Structure 1
Amino acid sequence: METTTLTEAELKEEIVKAIKRVYDPEIPVDVYELGLIYDLKIFPVNNVYVSMTLTSPSCPSAGTLPGEVEQRIREVEGVNDVSLELTFDPPYTTEMMSEEARLELGFM
């Protein structure tokens, strides 16, 4: 079986697709479109770093959402390791949502 090596851009695209399968349980929009992903980097040997936040520090899904994002990224073929950092700086605001998410939620 031949394995194809993805370019960094292709791998990042696959990782974003994986993240977009994770939804905030209280809002019908994925965490990527909500703007909860602050940073996404791919380091040599396909080690992935993600910095993310939650809609609020008291978010009921605080215990599960970061783990779900990390698990989805680990499932992407070619990913070696994942380091996920949860931060509340800067604090989340609805301005961080994509236009698509704001439309979906009636903010526009």
Structure 2
Amino acid sequence: MQKTVSEERVRDQLRTVIDPELGLDIVELGLVYDIKVEQDGRHVDVTFSLTSPMCPVGDMIQEQVENEVLSIEGVETVDARLSFEPPWNPDMMSPAAKLFFGR
């Protein structure tokens, strides 16, 4: 039986996408801004950011976001949107990530 695709399930899957510059996943870094699951889980919208607009691995991270969401059983399409509104800052990180960076 197929599990229901939920925002939490998508968020958990996105924990496998690592920012290579910082060595932490994009969820812990606070880079995932929004997740919408639509069409009974067949379509997912993900809005995410990067630590910097000049990030040289932005295309790679976007591709990883798309691939990881599509790897969830039942998801057929994904729209991964890059946004810099609001601009990312270290205060957006999880408590664990802040601790990791000594903040």
- TM-score of the two chains, using structure 2 as the length reference: 0.91
User: 1:45·1:80 contact (CA, 8 Å) conserved in 2?
Assistant: no
Aligned ranges for residues 10-89 of structure 1 at < 5 Å? 11-46=6-41, 47-89=43-85
Letter in 2 for 1:13: E
Residue 16 of structure 1 aligns to which amino acid in structure 2?
R
Which digits, 9 at most, give the CA deviation of each residue in 1:17-48, with x for residues without a partner? 21000100011210011000000010123110
Q: How do 1:1-16 and structure 2 match up within 5 A?
A: 4-8=1-5, 11-16=6-11
Provide the C-alpha distance between the structure 2 equivalents of 1:6 and 1:57, rounded to a whole number of angstroms.
36
Tell me, in whole angstroms, the C-alpha distance in 2 between the residues paired with 1:40 and 1:85. Answer: 10
Determine if the alignment matches structure 1 residue 92 to structure 2 residue 88: yes
Separation in 1, partners of 2:93, 2:4: 28
Question: Which consecutive residues of structure 1, in runs of 5 or more, have no partner in the other structure?
Answer: none
Tell me which protein shows more strand as a share of its residues.
Answer: 2
| Larger-Rg structure | 1
CA distance in 2 between partners of 1:101 and 1:13 (Å): 19
TM-score (norm 1): 0.87
Q: Is the 8 A contact 2:35 2:44 kept in 1?
A: yes
Q: Percent identity?
A: 37
Inter-partner Cα distance in structure 2 for 1:13 and 1:62: 23
